[in-house]
Structure 1
């Protein structure tokens, strides 16, 4: 009985906090032009998840899935916790991906309600990473779709197979055709057009790294943030499902699928300078 009462109180407390966050953030959502524009590209909760704020080092990291974000976010959390008394494991994905425990705050954090415009005007640096759309989508397919992750449910629904088991086979062609018909705001963050997801044209970035040169750009990210060389965390590779997408593109892409991806994700190719050719 006591445990039940504690659970009820905990649930009520969590609901109250969420309500307070929504109330505190609502004026920024209404008055910040950058946030209004961002919400035309992605739903509110996805925006709140994607924006990672460090007040300690005064930067914003925009989480862009399938670009080495787990490894970089783990390092950013390690930097944030430096010299603290916490026992949090910055290598544990449940720590650096769980925004309720991460030391990197959200836009609607009760101690730090703010807006993207305010962060930029206060001198916060903005960083993110991008990736070749061909390899990013293939990595997503092999991880989330072939791996039967919960994101696969979205594709099954598009295919009219929402009532079928999660193990139902979805081919790469079906995956590409399903997402090609979606609007950016409808897309899952793992396959959303990157220009939309990182709010290109809305956010002015101080540094945009590339997955293809991750080792170099990992270090450069911290240099841009003004972190001393000796304080830059060690590089790590925390991809829980090593998909080696760049090595298998020609095994999955037909000329038709290549063209479909290029046309649907053309802004990513053109703005970030990726070739329309399949990577060798």
Structure 2
């Protein structure tokens, strides 16, 4: 059985583990959050499932959802759910596309607040107003330790979702999102709930920043080599 201490020390030593876990005991499911892989859409779906309010559509579902917190349910119970006492699922995304989405949304975007993290990794003085190039972002991430230093928005996905500890019932892919969500709903015996895609326009899915930079693409693929191997991309 996986324990809370084991998950915390091996995968989230410097970050909140509870923030990435969304258990719904009444439905017998637990979702492990993987940033930049449809988290907003899944959280909205879970909130509607939990409350029965299918028209709920907040500005920021990450802070406004009504899902029960780990503290309310209890760490031991959540650990048991992740050990097989509940239906366990998560979603992943093609690593290069996820990396690009993280860069555009969190670093290149002037409204993002993640530039300082990248600049510190580059040995620079943090300056939110100074732009960070794609080249610089790749270099910064290469220098960061995946567990203790990388931000969850660009950490390897197998680290975020703790594949070494959790035996998932289903790992969906963003590329086949609707089909995978239906598999989860059916296999977990969940009622039908309307799904509304969130934050689609900000992901840069139709842009390919690496089209003319195969050198950078190869460096990114090397960072996420284990993701490619584990998730079969």
8 Å contact from structure 1 (residues 34, 202) kept in 2? no
Q: Structure 2 CA distance, aligned partners of 1:240 and 1:211?
A: 11
The question of 1:61 aligning with 2:61 is answered no
Q: Which piece of structure 1 moves more, 212-221 or 59-68?
A: 212-221
Q: In the alignment, which of 176, 194, 214 is matched to residue 255 of structure 1?
A: 214
Residue 209 (structure 1) shift: 0.4
Q: Structure 1 CA distance, aligned partners of 2:65 and 2:210?
A: 38
- Does the C-alpha gap of structure 1 residues 209 and 121 become closer, same or farther in structure 2, counting only changes over 3 Å? closer
The question of 1:234 aligning with 2:194 is answered yes
Give structure 1 regions of 4+ aligned residues with deviation exceeding 4 angstroms.
Answer: none
Q: Is the partner of 2:76 in helix, strand or coil?
A: coil
The structure whose RCO (Cα within 8 Å, separation 6+) is larger is 2
Q: Which runs of 5+ in 2 are unaligned?
A: none
Cross-structure match for 1:133:
95
Q: Structure 2 CA distance, aligned partners of 1:249 and 1:146?
A: 12
Cross-structure match for 1:5:
none
Matches for 1:25-174 after TM superposition, within 5 Å: 33=3, 35-43=5-13, 45-82=15-52, 90-94=56-60, 96-98=61-63, 102-107=65-70, 109-120=71-82, 123-148=85-110, 149-164=112-127, 166-174=128-136
The question of 1:273 aligning with 2:226 is answered no
Q: Structure 2 CA distance, aligned partners of 1:91 and 1:250?
A: 34
Cross-structure match for 1:224:
187
Q: Structure 2 CA distance, aligned partners of 1:245 and 1:41?
A: 28
- Does the C-alpha gap of structure 1 residues 204 and 152 become closer, same or farther in structure 2, counting only changes over 3 Å? same
8 Å contact from structure 2 (residues 44, 65) kept in 1? no
Residue 115 (structure 1) shift: 5.0
Residue 64 (structure 1) shift: 0.5
- Does the C-alpha gap of structure 1 residues 129 and 121 become closer, same or farther in structure 2, counting only changes over 3 Å? closer
Q: Structure 1 CA distance, aligned partners of 2:2 and 2:38?
A: 30
Q: Structure 2 CA distance, aligned partners of 1:156 and 1:250?
A: 21
Q: Is the partner of 2:227 in helix, strand or coil?
A: helix
Residue 168 (structure 1) shift: 0.8
Larger Rg over CA atoms: 1
* Structural RMSD (CA): 2.4
Alignment size in residue pairs? 231
The question of 1:175 aligning with 2:153 is answered no
